[in-house]
């Protein structure tokens, strides 16, 4: 591990107030999954609006992604916005979409700096055209990077995934690729 990675790791653990922890650098997980949760509760504890909690969550996610890249983790998947999340109050959904737009823009700059490959998984058809455009731009710009594979799940859901899988199987049967 080079010195700057070690310093980053040490600082992060101190920030998290984790003192007695040993990380076996030769036995790191290949793929880490994160479910974003608790943004609202975090904001409430601090007397802030929920959208401030989401903004802080998005910032932390970016830091975690860069940290994972420094550590040499291969894949990070963040479950950010599920199909159920559309049922939240309109104002909150709008704030989340605004955050997503800005996140894609910032991520473009930071992914280049950090050599990350960024992909958005989930049903993108439910997103506004401009957000889809930003996602496409980000995916294209980072496709040949060599570092962490950072996957962001947006508009994902188990029910939706089952329906899409069945549709795909039916298409393959129709096309004669599957019996």
Whose tokens are 């709008």? That residue is 94
Considering only 100, 116, 117, 127, the residue that binds ligand FPP (CB under 6 A) is: 100
Round to whole Å and give the CA distance between 89 and 24: 43
Enclosing H/E stretch for 150 = strand 149-156
Q: Is 37 a catalytic residue?
A: yes
> Which one, 5 or 145, has the nearer CB to ligand FPP?
145
Considering only 65, 71, 76, 99, the residue that binds ligand FPP (CB under 6 A) is: 99
In the three-class reduction of DSSP (H, G, I as helix; E, B as strand; rest coil), residue 27 is classed as: coil
CB of 11: closest distance to ligand FPP in angstroms? 22
Q: Is 40 a residue that touches ligand FPP (CB under 6 A)? A: yes
Q: Are 116 and 145 in contact (CB under 8 A)?
A: yes
Q: Is 147 a residue that touches ligand FPP (CB under 6 A)? A: no
CA atoms within 13 Å, Cβ hemisphere of 130: 6
Compute CA 75 distance to the chain's CA centroid, rounded to the nearest angstrom: 11
Here's the x/- map for ligand FPP, 56-75, by CB under 6 A: it reads as: -xx--x--------------
Tell me the number of residues near ligand FPP by CB under 6 A. 18
Closest to 71 in 3D by CA, of 43, 118, 22, 29: 29
Catalytic (active-site) positions: 37, 85
Question: Which residues of this chain interact with ligand FPP, rule CB under 6 A?
Answer: 36-41, 54, 57-58, 61, 80-81, 85, 96, 99-100, 103, 152
């Amino acid at each position: 591990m080079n010195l700057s990675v070690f310093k980053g790791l040490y600082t992060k653990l101190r920030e998290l107030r984790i003192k007695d922890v040993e990380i076996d650098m030769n036995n790191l997980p290949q793929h880490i999954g994160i479910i974003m949760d608790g943004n609202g509760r975090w904001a409430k504890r601090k007397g802030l609006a929920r959208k401030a909690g989401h903004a802080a969550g998005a910032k932390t996610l970016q830091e975690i992604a860069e940290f994972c890249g420094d550590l040499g983790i291969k894949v990070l998947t963040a479950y950010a916005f599920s199909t159920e999340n559309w049922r939240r109050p309109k104002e909150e959904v709008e704030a989340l979409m605004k955050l997503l737009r800005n996140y894609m823009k910032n991520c473009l700059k930071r992914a280049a700096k950090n050599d990350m490959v960024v992909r958005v998984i989930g049903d993108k058809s439910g997103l506004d055209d401009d957000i889809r455009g930003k996602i496409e731009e980000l995916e294209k710009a980072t496709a040949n990077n060599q570092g962490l594979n950072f996957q962001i799940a947006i508009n994902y859901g188990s029910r939706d995934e089952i329906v899409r899988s069945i549709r795909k199987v039916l298409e393959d049967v129709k096309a004669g690729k599957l019996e």
